[in-house]
Amino acid sequence: MEPEVPDPSLTLPTRTWRVAPAGRMLTTLFDGQTVVYHPGTGHTHWISAVAAEILERLGGAPMNEAELRAALVPMIRPDDLHMLDESLRESLDYLEQLTLIETP
Amino acid sequence: MTRVRELSDRELQSRLARGLDLRTGPFLFHIRSEEHLVFRGLRALYGDFPLGDEPVRDFHVRIRRPATVRRWFRPQIVFEHDRHTPFMPLSAAHAFASLEWGMNWCIASYAHHFLTLHAAVLERNGRAVLLPGEPGAGKSTLTAALSLSGWRLLTDETALVDLDSGLVWPLARPVNLKNDSIDIIQAFSREAVFGDRVFDTHKGTVAHLKPRAETVARMDEPCPVGWVVFPRWAGGEPARLTPRSRADTFVFAAENSFNYSVLGEAGFRALEGLIRGADCYDFRYGKLEDALSTFARLAG
Amino acid sequence: MNAAFQRLLAVLRQPDALARVDAAGWDGLLRHSRSAGLLSRLALDARDAGLWEALPDRVRRHMRGACFVADRQINAIRWEVHKLHEALGHHGMPIVLLKGAAYVMGDLPPARGRLFGDVDLLLPRDRLDEAERLLHLYGWHGAGLDDYDQRYYREWMHEIPPMTHFSRGSTLDVHHNILPRTARLKPRAETLLAGIEPIPGYTNLYRLGDADLVLHAATHLFHEGEWGHGLRDLVDLDALLRHFMARPGFLAELGRRAAELDLRQPLAYALGCVRTTLGTPLGDPALVAELEAPAHALVRVALGHGFASAHPDMASPGAAAALLFLYVRSHWLKMPPHLLVPHLLHKALAAGEVEKA
């Protein structure tokens, strides 16, 4: 049997993310739910708690996905830890789609 | 302060021909028209409104005949704002309705010192309920019925949110009702006074409900929003009020605002303050009477 | 000159004059300045002059609203440029911002309180195909033009047909020169590109050089056919000139550059118009007279009507004829007669069809 060729998309180095340089991003919290205003597009979005945490962390400085994951671990209940990777992936995709974050 | 009803028919007509300064809430409109239907509409619905006596007006509007051959054959009218005509001419039978729509358009297009939301607002016991407009949800009927049942009408479709205080300012203008709603409200209350019915508009048959005298007398009193309620008429169902997420309400209100997108940070802050101070609900109802008792309980 | 127009010019020339506008005057000034797209600019002038609190309440409220709109538009332009840079600049394509976007990204005075329309870019002509391909990849698409308009753009114009972004709805005008290929004046794009200035903080993002910015604004004004924004464009020119004139020798540089770019005539009109209309201080009278020499007095009168056309209240007798003259002239300047007559006929017939429908 030939050795398995790894899927190239899985071997990409972990991406670095930053908050889009659009001006002052505004967020507000209602009953644990976050609403964010994108000063570039002028649109307002309701984002998940994980997405809000990512946005907050990236607000300090750009981070790669491994660093983000490590930062998020303490806020997740140990029973839910298995869902972290999927949640992180989904949140990053969503934030990127809204152009709230981007890779520098 | 002179009110429209103090003018004789002849005075009102001649003022309209030169330009009548009419105040509705925070706005002063300079209205010019020689159309008889415009005169009739103002006579029937705006009697309690004060005339303006300030040199600076917010909006200069006019309903006039377009300069075409159709002047005499199937006559048309056109709405003019500050000498621009933003819309196509309409049948002259729609002259007064065009004025109402045109006035709404002015506010939505230029009143950027307010956050303007597409919603009806009514007040009771010092707190207002904001009813966002999902088309076809029966908002106008409910608004008209509430305004005839002890609630003070602030506005039927354009909510003016103060950018500093977050309070909502009244417009106190007539409620625009369509098709079946007109008969429902006529049957609902003997106090309901309507202007002329207009047929075959792009909205079907339209009539305007005269605001009550108290509504107009208190049009300089803004009010904090206590509740945001999304009404939905659902035939045969019992009245049911269910809590709705504030975050979701925020996003909906932003998307259904006339000018949130042009206000930037100021709009976000004003809406944030409004939503934070309000309880948000979805509301389904089958009978108008049930809806009114639910709202009465809400107001305490 | 019409009194309403004169009042607007007076406050644009000298913000202190805002204190002398009475309430009745404000009723007109509010509308006329809004119609000209200058209400937010007057608002900032009133604030800077310490006159904000003295304004009539209704005027102050509308001005406040206009400032929100202007601030929001500046954010939107910055974001649009950021996304354009992602699409083009990241791929090694040099982008030269023109007009409004250049003023915003270059932190230049005309950006102050200005309202914006589309974003305009200048790109090297031989890289247009590549740029169009990249813009398609990043979500811009061409407007649905008919075959005639497509051919008109591709064969005769200095830009490709306008593009719109699928999600943001913003419009983009991509130019390869500042005048059509058919125009009587022949500025060379290579000369413009040789003088560009980088936008700080970005790679591959530029604006025109200082003198070229003025010359482009002048050219735009001089070739204008529709005059809704004429006065605002003149106000841009005034702000640019006041800013750059602080540098000794700027006027002479402007003259040299105008000669190099075949733009002496637009410069002549621009200087004459800002000086007489907005009182822009231009320095050395002998040099000013020399630079203004190529201007025709009659055309200057017509241009005056053009600036007043932002609102019908500001029109003087003869305005309609002057505007028609400017319209025909703008096409005359952009096209030789054997192209112009068929073009205007096509436009007139197409407009007739719309009216009938």
Query: Residue B107: what pLDDT?
Result: 98
Of B56, B83, B110, the CB nearest to C23: B56
Say yes or no for a CB contact (<8 Å) between B110 and C23. Answer: no
Strand C205-207 and strand C95-98: pairing?
Answer: parallel
Q: Is C154 exposed, middle or buried (0-12, 13-18, 19+ CB in 10 A)?
A: exposed
Q: Is the pLDDT of residue C1 over 80?
A: no
| Pick from C152, C170, C156: nearest CA to C78 | C170
Output the six-digit token pair for C322. 């002057």
C-alpha pair distances (Å), A29 with each of A45, A88, B275, C162, C215: 12, 20, 11, 41, 50
Least confident of B69-73, C25-29, C117-121, C228-232: B69-73
Interface test with A, best of B248, B258, B268 (most A CBs within 10 A): B268
Q: For residue B114, list chain C residues with Cβ-Cβ distance below 8 A.
A: 65
For the stretch C169-224, pLDDT in tens is: 899 999 999 988 888 888 999 999 999 999 999 999 999 999 999 999 999 888 87
**Residue bearing the bigger pLDDT, B74 or B11:** B11
Confidence (pLDDT) at C354: 41
State how far residue C74 is from chain A, nearest Cα, in angstroms: 9
* Residues B250, A35: C-beta atoms closer than 8 Å: yes
Query: Hey, what are C292's tokens?
Result: 């203004």
Residue linked to tokens 């700027």: C250
C43-78 pLDDT tens trace: 999 999 999 999 999 999 999 999 999 999 999 999
pLDDT of residue B91: 93
- Sequence-distant (6+) residues with CB within 8 A of C62 are B58, B110, B112, B113, C30, C34, C39
> What is the reported pLDDT for B148?
97
> B95-134 burial, b for 16+ CB within 10 Å, e for fewer?
bbbbbbbbbbbbbbebbbbbbbbbbbbbbbeebbbbbbbe
Q: What confidence category does residue C249 fall into, taking pLDDT thresholds of 50, 70 and 90?
A: very high
CA C1 to chain centre: 23
Q: What is the mean pLDDT of residues B173-200?
A: 94
% chain C with pLDDT above 90: 68
With CA atoms as reference, report the closest residue to B98 among B175, B201, B204: B201
Q: What is the pLDDT of residue C344?
A: 63
Provide CB contacts within 8 A for A5, sequence distance 6+: none
**Chain B nearest CA to C130, separation (Å):** 33
- How far away is chain B from the Cα of A46, in angstroms, using its nearest Cα? 6
* Inter-axis angle of helices C264-273 and C285-292, nearest 10: 120
The mean per-residue pLDDT over the stretch B244-272 comes to: 95
Confidence of residue C30 (pLDDT cuts 50, 70, 90): very high
- What pLDDT is stored for residue B72 in this prediction? 62
Least confident residue range of B16-30, C143-157, C217-231, C283-297 = C143-157
Residue A1 reports pLDDT greater than 50: no
Distances (CA, A) of C83 to A22, B164, C77, C120, C225: 10, 33, 10, 14, 31
pLDDT of residue C271: 96
What was the pLDDT predicted at A57?
94
pLDDT on residue C299: 82
* B44-68 average pLDDT score: 95
Query: In whole angstroms, what separates CA B92 from the centre of its chain?
Result: 22
> Would you say residue C336 has pLDDT above 70?
no
More confidently predicted of B204 and C82? C82
In whole angstroms, give the CA distance from residue C245 to residue C234.
16
Exposure on the CB side of residue C233, measured as CA atoms within 13 A: 31
Identify the weakest region by mean pLDDT among A11-20, B111-120, C82-91, C132-141.
A11-20
* Contact between residue C331 and residue C346 where contact means Cβ atoms under 8 Å apart: no
Region A79-85: mean pLDDT is 86
Cβ-based neighbours of B23, under 8 Å, separated by 6 or more: B29, B49, B50, B51, B52
Is B150 a residue whose pLDDT tops 80?
Answer: yes
**Beta-sheet pairing, A16-19 with B204-209:** unpaired
At C301, is the pLDDT very low, low, confident or very high (cuts 50, 70, 90)? confident
The enclosing H or E element of B129 equals strand B127-132
Percent of chain C with pLDDT over 70: 92
Q: φ, ψ for residue B27 (rounded to 5)?
A: -105, 145
Q: Which residue has the higher pLDDT, A51 or C325?
A: A51
Q: Which residues of C have a CB under 8 Å from any CB of B?
A: 22-24, 26-27, 30-31, 34-35, 56, 58-59, 61-62, 64-66, 68-69, 71-72, 75, 311-313
Contacts of A58 (CB under 8 A, 6+ apart): A17, A18, A19, A68, A101
pLDDT tens-digit profile of A37-61?
A: 999 999 999 999 999 999 999 998 9
Helix%, strand%, coil% for chain B, nearest 5: 35, 30, 35
- The model's pLDDT over C123-142, given as tens digits with 9 standing for 90+, comes to 999 999 999 999 999 999 98
Residues 224-283 of B with CB under 8 A from A: 245-248, 250-251, 254-255, 260-262, 264-265, 268-269, 272, 275-276
CA dihedral C343, C346, C352, C357 (to 10 degrees): -130
Contact C82 A40 (CB under 8 A): yes
Separation CA B185–CA B104 (nearest Å) = 22
pLDDT, one tens digit per residue, over B187-227 is: 999 999 999 999 988 888 999 999 999 999 999 999 999 99
Distance CA C332, CA C329 (A): 5
ipTM score? 0.95
Residue of A nearest to B249 (CA): A46
Contacts of B11 (CB under 8 A, 6+ apart): none
**Mean of pLDDT over chain C:** 89
- For the record, the structure tokens of A55 come out as 């946005």
| 3-state secondary structure at position B58 | coil
pLDDT at A28: 97
Report the pLDDT value the prediction gives residue C349, as an integer from 0 to 100. 58
Q: Identify the CA nearest to A62 among candidates A98, A94, A15.
A: A15
Nearest to B56 among C56, C311, C313 (CB): C56
Chain B: residue nearest A38 by CA?
B264
Chain A residues with CB inside 8 Å of C83's CB?
Answer: 99
pLDDT of amino acid C341: 63
- Whole-number average pLDDT of chain B: 95
Quick: pLDDT tens for B288-300: 999 999 999 999 8
Interchain pair B264, C31: CB under 8 A: no
Q: How big is the A-C interface in CB pairs under 8 Å?
A: 23
- pLDDT at residue C357, as a whole number: 33
Average of per-residue pLDDT across B282-290: 95
- Residue of chain C with shortest Cα separation from A43: C168
At residue A31 the predicted structure's pLDDT band, cuts being 50, 70 and 90, is: very high
Residues paired with A47 in a beta bridge: A34
Cα C11 to its chain centre, rounded Å, is: 21
Size of interface B-C (CB pairs under 8 A): 58
What confidence tier does C356 reach under pLDDT thresholds 50, 70, 90? very low
Res. B149: pLDDT tops 90: yes
Distance from CA of B126 to the nearest CA of C (A): 26
Instruction: Say whether residue A6 is in contact with chain C using an 8 A CB cutoff.
Output: no
